[in-house]
Amino acid sequence: MNDIVMAASVILILVGMTAAIFNRDPFDKLISLSVLIAGVFPFIIDRGFLDIAIATALIAPLSTIFTLMVCRRVQE
Amino acid sequence: MIALYVCAAIAVYAALRVIAERNTMRKLPFVNVISFAVTAIIALLLPHPITIIAAAAYFVGSTLESNAIASTWAGGIKKP
C-alpha cells in the first residue's frame, strides 16, 4: 500500500475514534463508527483477505441496525 | 495512481467535514461521500478479480447502514 493511502486510512480511523468518544448524541456516535469501519477496510484489502472483507462489509451494517433498534426504543 | 490519491483526499476531506458539522442530518451526505471514496480505494488498490465483489459488497453494506441511520433519525411513519 502507498504511504499516502495508508495515512488517509489512519486519519479516517483516528477521526472516527475521536468523534465516537466525544460525541453525546447516539446517532452521532453511530455515524462516527461508520467512519471508523470505512477506515479499517483498506487495510483488510491490502493484505489480500478479500473473503473476510466481503463478510465484514455485510456483517457491520447488521450490527448498526441492531444498535439503531435499541436507540429508537430508548428515545420513546 | 493519481486516481487513488484523489480518492484518499476526498475521503479525508469528507471525514473532516463530518466532525466539523454540528447538525446530525447534515453529517449523513458526507458519510455517503466517505463510502463512495473508500469503495473506489478498494477497487483500485489490489488488482484481483474478486476485489470488485468486495467493493460491491462494501458499497451495498455502507449505503444500507447510512440509509438506516437516516430513516431512524427522521422518525419513520407518524401514527395518527
Q: Is B80 helix (H, G, I), strand (E, B) or coil?
A: coil
B10, B13, B19, best to mutate vs chain A, most A CBs in 10 Å: B19
CB contact under 8 A, B45 and A5: yes
Q: For residues A69 and A48, what is the distance between their CA atoms, to the nearest angstrom?
A: 34
What string of DSSP letters covers A14-60?
A: HHHHHHHHH--SHHHHHHHHHHHHHHHHHHHHHHT-HHHHHHHHHHH
Q: For residues A35 and A38, what is the distance between their CA atoms, to the nearest angstrom?
A: 5
Tens-digit pLDDT profile for residues A22-75? 988 888 999 999 999 999 999 999 988 999 999 999 999 999 999 888 877 765
> What's the pLDDT score for residue B75?
74
CB contact under 8 A, A45 and B54: yes
A17/B contact by beta carbon, under 8 A:
no
A71/B contact by beta carbon, under 8 A:
yes
CB contact under 8 A, B69 and A30: yes
Residue ranges covered by each domain of chain B: 2-71
Give the amino acid at B78: K
Residue whose C-alpha is closest to residue A33's, from A72, A65, A1? A65
> If you measure CA to CA, which chain B residue comes closest to A14?
B15
Q: For residues B6 and B23, what is the distance between their CA atoms, to the nearest angstrom?
A: 27
Q: Grid coordinates representing B59?
A: 458499497
Give the amino acid at A16: G
Chain B residues closer than 8 Å to A32 by CB: 18-19
Residue A67's domain comprises 3-75
> If you measure CA to CA, which chain B residue comes closest to A18?
B19
Give this prediction's pTM: 0.88
Does the pLDDT at position B77 exceed 70? no
A36/B contact by beta carbon, under 8 A:
no
Total number of domains constituting chain A = 1
